[in-house]
Amino acid sequence: MQGVQIQKSSSPAVVLPYYICGALFFLVLCFLMLFSSDAFYGHYFHPKLLAITHIAALGWGTMIILGVLYQLLPVILDTHLYSEKLAKITFYFFTSGVICLAYSFWNFYVGIHIQVASVLLLLSFLLLVINVVLTACQSPKWNTESDFIVTSAFWLLLTGILGTIMAFNFTFPFLHKSHLLFLKIHAHMGIAGWFIMLIMGVGSKLIPMFLLSHGLNTKKLNYAYYLVNIGLISFCADLFFREEKAFLPLYATLIISGILFFISFLYEAYKKRVRKQLDIGLRHSFMAFIFLFLPIFIGIIISFNFSVNDTFLMQIYLVYGISIFFGFISTLILGQTLKTLPFIVWLHRYSKSSEKKGIFLPKNLYSEKIANSQYITYLLALPALITGVLLSLPILIKIGALLLLITAFLYNINVFKIVSHSLKAHN
């Protein structure tokens, strides 16, 4: 990681709890999927499916991404994190909120349980926005990456606000429109506004850095930023105020065009790379962007309202969600964990030490054999799970979920193997 300022990077005490907790949530997520496969061949508003979705989106995806963000934000913005204390408080609010929310959805307790969960999560999002904005404000430079990161934090906050409103509406009905309408807005705020925006911001810095790519066309990032935001804002506003579907193809086209500009940027970075051989982390990462074409294709089918029966449409919606959270986001996280977490630990444990200097590198902190096995089981899991959901075949869903559970187990082994080096530093 060229250009990293050691003195500006966040403390492992801030970052590592997010990685550890995210890894454990991934294990829990896959375990629940294995023993609740019946939730995957019905309506997407199924309580168990809602619990699984929010564990995937928050406990797994967002948890890991927050760890990455708190580590890399000072590096990208060339400044110190505004408040490490605030980041730690955010972790406790966020973790408590995720656990409470998953418990509420699983048992469909829509009273005080889900309200407390939503408030805890909303507070954590608010603290995140404060920390990100104040960190950005003290940065000596403002760049495209800053736009993506700050905007994504606000989208997460908006996602949390709408989620909190929906949580209270269960008990105190004051919304005069269908919950499913707000659920669509809520989901796409989180997916396109939070995940896609942040991945673009961090990925545009990290992936060229790992590939040692130079002379890239950064105008593509500007196009990506504006197209995704314009498309998402228009989609949310139109659906909220008018409940119109006539312009959905236009909004989908804008968002997809923005994503394709970003993929084009990554492809350019790949073509201009100095480091020709891709390690297991980068293979995972590039596979994630290949998988991204599946939800793009499904999004086109949904937005253009191609004629399909209602039962098959529900299955398509489920595959859409699976292809985003497991096909894209999870694949990217599995890869980038092997790039970021070893570096974080190595940076604070070995970079200034003479111990094994020049020999002991970040890649030596984890087992490549286990990482390769993880890669294989994951690539086998996805087709099984998606095919099982699409064709309503419980046996394939169970096989896919079992392979995901094995993947999660292997992932946890490497995460805790890496983290153990950091713990040694304190002994």
Q: Pick from 91-100, 316-325, 412-421 the range whose average pLDDT is largest.
A: 91-100
Single out the residue of 375, 293, 299 nearest to residue 337, CA to CA: 375
Q: What percent of the chain has pLDDT over 90?
A: 61
In this predicted structure, the answer to whether residue 245 has a pLDDT above a threshold of 80 is no
pLDDT at 354: 47
Cβ proximity of 223 and 261 under 8 Å: yes
pLDDT at 145: 86
pLDDT at 9: 72
pLDDT at 3: 45
Euclidean distance between CA atoms 280 and 293, whole angstroms = 21
Q: Which residues contact 93 (CB under 8 A, 6 or more apart)?
A: 120, 121, 123, 124, 127
14-27 per-position pLDDT tens digit: 999 999 999 999 99
Mean pLDDT confidence for 247-263: 94
339-369 per-position pLDDT tens digit: 889 988 888 777 666 455 554 678 889 999 9
280-310 per-position pLDDT tens digit: 888 999 999 999 999 999 888 888 766 666 6
pLDDT at 371: 94
Per-residue pLDDT band for 221 (boundaries 50, 70, 90) equals very high
Single out the residue of 111, 66, 56, 80 nearest to residue 5, CA to CA: 80
Mean pLDDT, the chain, whole residue set:
88
Best CATH choice for the domain 6-424 from the list 3.30.2310.20, 1.10.10.10, 1.20.210.10, 1.10.760.10: 1.20.210.10
- Coil, strand or helix at 277: coil
- Coil, strand or helix at 102: helix
Domain boundaries, the chain: 6-424
Mean pLDDT confidence for 218-234: 95
> How far, rounded to the nearest angstrom, does the alpha carbon of residue 113 sit from its chain's CA centroid?
25
